[in-house]
A and B are shown apart, each in its own frame.
Chain A
Amino acid sequence: MAFPQQKMKPKSKSFNRPFSKIVNKKFIYTVISVFLFYLFFLRSNNDNSDSSNYNYSFSPNNPYQHLPKEHGIYNDQILTSDPLIYPSVQYAPFLRELTLSKLFQSKTDENGNLHYVYDQDLDESERLFSDDDTANGNNDNDNNDNDLNDLNYDENLNGLALNKKSKSDKNNNHDDYHDDLNIDQPYDDNEDDEIHFKKAKKSFKNHGKIVFDARNNKSPDLVIVTSLDFEKFELTHLTKVITNRIDYCKANNFGFYSRWVQEFIPILQKHNSNKSWVKLMIMREAFHAFPNSKYFWYLDQDSIIMRYDLNLINYLLAPSILNPIILKDQPIIPPSGAIHTYKNIKPQDIRFLITQNENSIDSTSFILINDIYGKAILEFWQDDLFRKYTNFQIIENALTHILQWHPVLLSKTALLPPRTIASLHSVMDLPKGGDHLHYYPGDLVVNLKDCEARKSCESEFESYYQQIDKN
């Protein structure tokens, strides 16, 4: 009774002894290691099995989807090896006479309003005319192999862009080109106007499909982009604008991309946008037409290039030249806007160059680089929601808004002094060497801004045009 545990102890001892003979340290270690090995093995098996056998039974479509090829506003494309792409201006008088109602088909929308539409957006049943106009429009031809001959429709009229690409001679013969544009060339009297109208319409509908064949030709480093308005200008004037651009491009091995403003009417009508939005749309089309070209210079039709000898890339865009020129820490809205361009912007980071005048940013003349930033800027700027916004009828307002609210886009933008690419026309006397804003002989460009209000676009253009040293 005094030591009950002593009685217990021997019992436990006797119990333990036989057990401890079996369960010694070695045994325990081997059991544990086998167990761990088993665990490890089984676990890794599990890992491999399930994820690779995952059953995507509800995947909605086949894997390795057939992905459509890129296209512009038109679904079809016509390739050319000529880097100078512009509409056949000798059709301008015919197009003007035809008017938009004959150039586009119309459709009534939900509100009962009549809208112009592209032929490609109509169903078979909705097409009112049989279309010899849309030569390759409504069939399933392979996009890139359109038969050029189909559109090579007229030797007599020397249809410009289209015939030129069929010429095997790629030497950009200056004389050929001027012949083409020689409007004194008599029309064949045997052909009626009927045929001219038909050809004008066909050209109008198909010109926009032309893209530069970048895979098989060396792309120009820079492309000038200009939109032309046949409702605003006559043939003689339009010819001058085109000649001015082409002469500059030929002197510097640049490309040229031009479209009729009217081609974009169906898009503008969506939100009752004014014609100035076309410059963004045509720039985006230009990116698509020249996929391997780096710089794109939009220059309004109311501007003239005065110096054929100044290669824009060497004169302005090379980083070492650009760096001291761009306006750093400059208010977006002069003179005292709160948001400024960045102080330490590096020229290699710049993707967008534009000028300002006294009161605001000016989109008459601007430069974009064809990469993801350039595309984002263009597509964002022309988004439906900006076009619809009441304050942004003036596209510069949309741009200043964008630059103030989106720092990444601002960081890729540089403001240029106006006399680099947009010297303003003026009749005032200027001090020797000029001021910071107005055209002074020797400048690259004259910007005839607001000449429409002065009703003197043609005469002003002509007077500057005569001053160009064309050698």
Chain B
Amino acid sequence: PKIVIVLAANEGGGVLKWKGAQEWSVERSSINNKKYYAKKHGYGLTIKDMTIKKRYSHEWRESWEKVDILKQTMRQYPRTEWFWWLDLHTYIMEPEFSLEDHIFNKINEISYRSLNNSFNPLNLKIDIPYINYQNNPIEMLIAQDCGGFNLGSFFIRKSKWSELLLDIWWDPAFYEQMHMIWEHKEQDSLETLYNTQAWIRERVAFLPLKSINAFPPGACSDKADDPQFFYNETDRDFLINMAGCEWGRDCWSEMEHYKKLSKRLNDQPW
């Protein structure tokens, strides 16, 4: 298939705590949602096990599983062009939208590459030497939330560039110096690399958060009055990412709520 959805599941794998009935239910809902969507549009779907492993423990490679899993998935699907990573607590609200129509066929209109005069919550350097946007294709699409890059839902293209990126993304010397500062691990690492290395920056483009990664009211709570981050049913936002629901909110009830909402919005009257 040309596009493969990579869904992270079995978060924690029951290693540090039991998975309760609600966690199983949330997982089932998320998986079924992606299965339905993939089947409908002819995309591939691969469900990856995120059981906590020793090699990803704190002080070592905490949370870099995404990078390793993407490497492995790209080897697993050698002819696939785009890979769409999704965290578990996401729900595709509008399964009618195909990725081609929603994103790829109008990628130049809806994405932005330079941070000049653009949303730049991290205040990254706007201009560094050697960036050449004109001769380099877009090979990674991510969104920024109120605090920086959000890798809960992003697209990456199989290419020499992405192979290199996945190879250098984790480096022990970088990790040793920065892992206490990098709260969000591989996400923050990417922000640092984006800030200093032009060859990485020139193939990354940003999408508005709402287009692929809308938040529920509980996330980004300090920016609750800024509508650009939040799911809105009149706008018929494509996907909701219940980011951080496992800390302090209720994943199961949020999932049930959005499941029902999606059904209601997409139900035919007859």
Contacts and interface: CB of A to CB of B under 8 A. Distances in A.
Contact of A380 (B96, B192, B197): B197
B218 to A, nearest CB: 19
B223 interface: no
B208 A59 contact: yes
Contacts of B173: 385-386, 389, 392, 398, 401
Contacts of B208: 56, 58-60
B129 A72 contact: yes
Given A58-B210, A73-B129, A379-B197, A68 B116 contact: yes
Contacts of A69: 134
Contacts of A288: 129-130
Contacts of A68: 114, 116, 127, 131, 133
B110 A64 contact: no
Interface in B223-244: 227-228, 235-236, 238
A442 to B, nearest CB: 39
A67 B113 contact: yes
A97 B25 CA distance: 76
Interface residues of A, number: 51
Contact of B98 (A39, A51, A71, A373): A51
Contact of A61 (B102, B117, B133, B199): B117
Interface string B121-154: 0000001011111100000000000000000000
A55 B234 CA distance: 10
B172 A65 contact: no
B97 interface: yes
22 contacts: A50-B236, A51-B98, A54-B235, A60-B118, A60-B119, A60-B208, A63-B112, A64-B108, A65-B113, A65-B116, A68-B114, A72-B129, A72-B130, A376-B168, A379-B199, A385-B192, A389-B173, A389-B177, A398-B173, A406-B167, A406-B171, A408-B164
A56 B208 CA distance: 8
B130 A408 contact: no
B15 to A, nearest CB: 27
Given A43-B268, A402-B171, A408-B167, 11 more contacts: A54-B102, A56-B208, A64-B109, A65-B113, A68-B116, A70-B130, A72-B130, A372-B161, A392-B173, A405-B171, A406-B171
B178 A56 contact: no
B131 A55 contact: no
A372 to B, nearest CB: 6
A65 B199 contact: no
B130 A284 contact: yes
A46 to B, nearest CB: 6
A376 B118 contact: no
SS class of chain A's interface: helix, strand, loop or mixed?
helix
Nearest to A398: B173
B110 A56 contact: yes
Contacts of A47: 96
Contact of B109 (A51, A63, A72, A388): A63
Interface in A55-101: 55-61, 63-65, 67-73
The 5 closest A-B pairs by CB, nearest first: A408-B167, A58-B228, A60-B119, A70-B132, A67-B133
B59 interface: no
Contacts of B270: 38-39, 42
Nearest to A70: B132
Nearest to A49: B96
Interface residues on B, range: 35 or more
B268 A71 contact: no
A225 to B, nearest CB: 16
Given A68-B127, A288-B129, A385-B174, A373 B168 contact: no
Interface in B54-96: 94, 96
B174 A61 contact: no
Interface of B: 94, 96-98, 101-102, 108-110, 112-114, 116-119, 127, 129-134, 160-161, 163-164, 167-168, 171-174, 177-178, 192, 196-199, 208, 210-211, 227-228, 235-236, 238, 268, 270
A308 B238 CA distance: 64
Given A46-B96, A58-B227, A379-B199, A409 B167 contact: yes
Contacts of B117: 61
Contact of B118 (A61, A375, A383, A388): A61
A61 B129 contact: no
Contacts of A65: 112-114, 116, 118
Contacts of B97: 50-51, 54
Contacts of A46: 96, 268
A332 B116 CA distance: 42
A61 B112 contact: yes
Nearest to A380: B168
Interface in A3-59: 38-39, 42-43, 46-47, 50-52, 54-59
A63 B119 CA distance: 13
Contact of B101 (A52, A64, A385, A392): A52
A407 B238 CA distance: 38
A288 B197 CA distance: 14
Contacts of A58: 208, 210, 227-228
Interface string A283-301: 0100110000000000000
B160 A373 contact: yes
Interface hub of A52, A58, A375 (most chain B Cβ within 10 A): A58
Contact of A67 (B134, B198, B228): B134
Given A71-B129, A372-B160, A59 B98 contact: no
A407 B173 CA distance: 16
Contacts of B268: 39, 42-43, 46
A231 B165 CA distance: 39
Given A60-B118, A68-B114, A383 B197 contact: yes
A388 B96 CA distance: 50
B168 A372 contact: no
A109 to B, nearest CB: 16
A398 B97 CA distance: 47
A63 B113 CA distance: 10
A384 interface: yes
A415 to B, nearest CB: 19
Contacts of B171: 385, 402, 405-406
A61 B207 CA distance: 11
Interface in A182-239: none
B102 A57 contact: no
B110 A63 contact: yes
